[in-house]
Amino acid sequence: MTRPIVGIIGNSHLINDSYPTHAGGTMNTEAVSEVSNCLPLLIPADPRYVGVDELLETCDGFVLTGGRPNVHPEEYGEAETDAHGTFDRARDAITLPLVRQCVDRGQPFLGICRGFQEVNVAMGGTLYPEIRDLPGRLNHRMPPEGTLEEKFALRHKVTFSQSGVFHTLMGAQEVMTNTLHGQGIKTAGARVVIDGYAPDGTPEAIFIKDAPGFTLSVQWHPEWDAANDPVSRPLFAAFGAAVLQWSLARQGAPLQKTA
């Protein structure tokens, strides 16, 4: 059968600092195709080209990817400062209403890094502009030097709620993850359940309470080595199973049992 379609939210990017593109990391495509067993479709996240309603009808699920630009602070009622970094207002205009509609419809999404932050903001939450400036917090940013293997290396533990959603999925209450972000959750949005924390108290894993569909989101980057990593693989596999279920239900086909 035809694989269900996962829309991978792209980011605005300049090639050679001059040629505008919409881009997505190959590792996202690989994780969706090889671990989630879905057809990856890169989405140009700009309301000039795509609409939320047509995305919902075209795709069966979505990966809200990481990206260098941050959610604009006006989206959560705060003033812009230099600490907030760069922005992509076009992506904000697509992803924030997309998250809310997916929650209402039960349509699956997986939030990653910026995507994790988008989910919180979409549900009415706020963000800290720079985690490392807070007393007692670690520096969660990407190491400035080194190979990709070094930048995406496992750097800290994440502890999940006892018998919670992530604990059950991973089969472990503590896991090791990479960390490549500057911002983080300040206040959780309505129905946002923080289900995992870094050792310094930074929220790392969330889901939406009582949502009818898959809403798991993480602050780390599980797309790195997703086929082999013991934390990434069950996350993308569970997401893929949820997307398949959504696709079958939309087609009116009998639902298949998933693990």
What is the residue range of 178's domain?
A: 5-251
Q: Which residue is listed with tokens 């997505």?
A: 24
Asked, for residue 140, whether it belongs to a domain, the answer is yes
Asked, for residue 256, whether it belongs to a domain, the answer is no
- Judged against a pLDDT cut of 90, whether residue 99 lies above it is answered with yes
Asked, for residue 64, whether it belongs to a domain, the answer is yes
Asked, for residue 258, whether it belongs to a domain, the answer is no
Asked, for residue 193, whether it belongs to a domain, the answer is yes
In the chain, the amino acid numbered 192 is: V
Asked, for residue 229, whether it belongs to a domain, the answer is yes
Number of C-beta neighbours around residue 224 at 10 A: 23
Q: What is the mean pLDDT of residues 95-108?
A: 98
In the chain, the amino acid numbered 222 is: P
Of 194-198, 221-225, 253-257, the least confident:
253-257
Q: Tally the domains of the chain.
A: 1
**Torsion angle (degrees, nearest 10) of CA 76, 80, 83, 85:** 90
CA 200 centroid distance within chain: 21
Asked, for residue 130, whether it belongs to a domain, the answer is yes
Q: What's the pLDDT at 142?
A: 79
pTM: 0.94
Asked, for residue 28, whether it belongs to a domain, the answer is yes
Domain at 214, CATH number: 3.40.50.880
CA 187 centroid distance within chain: 18
